[in-house]
Structure 1
Amino acid sequence: MSAALQTIALEKRFGGLIATDKVSLTLEHGARHALIGPNGAGKTTFVNLLTGVLPANGGQILLDGNDITRKSQIQRARLGLGRTFQINQLFGAMTPVESIGLAVSERMGGGRDFWRRVGTRTDILDEITGLIERFRLTEVMDHPTRLLPYGKQRLLEIALALASNPRVLLLDEPAAGVPEAERGELLETLAQLPRDVSILLIEHDMDLVFAFAERITVLVNGALFADGTVSEIMSDPRVQAVYLGSDAHA
C-alpha cells in the first residue's frame, strides 16, 4: 500500500542557496508524525513545497501514490491535502459557526448560498455541529472570531482545515502564540483527531511534539538529519547536540 504522503529527493534552491536538500520523507496512513529542527532548518520551505506555495527544483511529491509535484495549491487541496498556518488566516468578523458553515458549503459547491438552504440539509447541519463540538467551540460559536481567546482561534483554524475532508493534514506550529493556560485544551483536541486523517505536525513546542507524535523527522540546514520513533529521537546524541539540548524548549 502506498504512503499517505511521500517525498522523494525533494529539492528547492534559491539561487546558490539549497533550502531543501534532497529530502525523502514518508508519512504513513494514520500517521502522527512531527517535523522538527532548529530555526532556519528549512521546515517552512518544506511545507510550502508540499502545499504548492513554492515549486520544487527537483524530486517528487506523492499523495496516496499519485504524483502531485506539479499540481497547483487548489488542486492539491481538492485531492485531500490540507494545512494550517503559523499565523491564522481567519475572518475576524465571522463567528465560528458561520466560518465552519461556509467551509463545509464551499467543499460541497454551495458557496454563500448555503445559508439560504441550510435548514433543508440535516447532513450539513450535523457536520457543522460535530466540528463545533469536537473542537470545543460550543460556548463561543456565535462570538466574532476576533474576540475569541487565541487558543480557541487556533482550534477554529484546525476545524476549518478538517472541514475540507483532508486525507493528509499539515499542522504548521498550531501552538504558536497560544498561552500556556490554553495549551492543554489544544493538545487534548489534537489527540482526538480522527485516525483516517494522516497528520504531519511542524512544531517548536517539544512538549506538544512528544505528547502527540509517534514518529519524528529532524531537518538541519535543509537536509534530513534524523528520522525515527519518539524514543529513538529523544535518545539520539546527534539530535540532542544540534537541537534537543539547545533550543528545544525555547
Structure 2
Amino acid sequence: MSTPVLETIGLVKRFGGLLATDHVSFTLRRGARHALIGPNGAGKTTFVNQLTGVLTPTEGQIRLEGEDITHRRPEARVRLGMSRTFQINQLFRTMTPLEMLLLVLGEREGRGLHFWSRLDARADLVREAATIAERFRLDDVIDATIATLSYGKQRQLEIAAAFAARPKVLLLDEPAAGVPEAERQDLLDTVAELPEDVSVLLIEHDMDLVFRFATRITVLVNGAVIADGEPAAIAADPAVRAAYLGEGKDA
C-alpha cells in the first residue's frame, strides 16, 4: 500500500488538565475525499490546528507524504503542500478576486505580489488566476471588490485561494457555514469538482454535504476517534448515532 499523503500517530493535545486530542491516529490517502465529523466540542478544530501548525501536539507525530512535520511552522507546511480554509474567511476585503489570487500565486512562486503591482508584467500569473477564477465560478466577479461579493462567492474565493497554492492536501473547515441556501449548490458543485490529485479533508457539520462528498468518514468525540469507515457503515454505527445524534441515550 502506498504511503499516506497525511497521517497522525497517537496525536495528543493537552490544555492543562483538559485532554483535547486523545491519541488520534488518522490516515488520509492520496486522492481521498475524507470527512471529519463530530458534535460541538469534539476536538475537530484542535485536531486541524495541529495538522496545520497553529498548535503543537503534546505527544504524537504528524507526517506529510512520510515526512515528519510535527514541529514545522505553518508556512513551511503550506510550501510542502498543505492548504486550509477557515470557518470564518480570511480574505482581504479591499482587494478583488483577481488581486487575491495573484497574491497567492506570487507567494507560491516566491516572488510576492502587492495589489498595486503592474499586472501586465505578470501575464503568466494573470492567465492562471483567470483559469482558477473560472473553475471556481468567480469569473463574473473577478474585478469586483471582495467586500461587495455575496457570502457564497467569498467562500468560493477562499477555496480558490487555497487551491491556487497547489496543495497536495486541502483542508476545508466548514465551507458551507453561513452560506445561504440559494448559493449552496454552487459551493457543493465546486467541492465535488476538485481535482482528483488533491487529497481533501472536509470538516463539516452539514451532513448533506458530508454524505454527498465523502467516500470515507472519521468520527471524533471527546477528542478521540470512535469510528472510521465508509459513509454507509458510519451512518449505521450505533456508537456514532448515540454520540453524534443523541440516540440510544437515557432521557
Aligned mates of 1:93, 1:108 — CA distance in 2: 23
Match of 1:147 in 2: 148
Match of 1:76 in 2: 77
Contact 1:81–1:169 (8 Å) recurs in 2: yes
Match of 1:223 in 2: 224
More deviation, 220-229/103-112: 103-112
Aligned mates of 1:116, 1:99 — CA distance in 2: 12
1:153 is paired with a residue of what secondary structure?
A: helix
The number of residue pairs the alignment matches comes to 246
Given the superposition, is the C-alpha separation of residues 121 and 91 from structure 1 closer, same or farther in structure 2, using an over 3 Å criterion? closer
1:182 is paired with a residue of what secondary structure?
A: helix
Match of 1:54 in 2: 55
Aligned mates of 2:132, 2:165 — CA distance in 1: 11
Match of 1:206 in 2: 207
Aligned mates of 1:95, 1:19 — CA distance in 2: 38
TM-superposed deviation, 1:161: 0.4
Is there any run of 5+ residues in structure 2 with no aligned partner, and where?
Answer: none
TM-superposed deviation, 1:71: 0.6
Identity among equivalent positions (%) equals 63
Per-residue CA shift, 1:43-88, capped at 9, x if unaligned? 0000000011011010100000000001111111111111000000
TM superposition score normalised by structure 1: 0.95
Match of 2:99 in 1: 98
Match of 2:90 in 1: 89
The AA in structure 2 aligned to 1:132 is A
2:54 is paired with a residue of what secondary structure?
A: coil
- Where do 1:1-250 residues align within 5 Å? 1-112=2-113, 116=117, 118-244=119-245
1:175 is paired with a residue of what secondary structure?
A: coil
TM-superposed deviation, 1:114: 8.3
Given the superposition, is the C-alpha separation of residues 54 and 113 from structure 1 closer, same or farther in structure 2, using an over 3 Å criterion? closer
Aligned mates of 2:197, 2:229 — CA distance in 1: 22
TM-superposed deviation, 1:116: 4.7
The AA in structure 1 aligned to 2:105 is V
TM-superposed deviation, 1:214: 0.5
2:55 is paired with a residue of what secondary structure?
A: coil
TM superposition score normalised by structure 2: 0.94
Aligned mates of 1:135, 1:79 — CA distance in 2: 23
TM-superposed deviation, 1:123: 3.2
Given the superposition, is the C-alpha separation of residues 110 and 242 from structure 1 closer, same or farther in structure 2, using an over 3 Å criterion? same
Contact 1:96–1:156 (8 Å) recurs in 2: yes
Contact 1:105–1:114 (8 Å) recurs in 2: no
1:112 is paired with a residue of what secondary structure?
A: coil
TM-superposed deviation, 1:125: 2.5
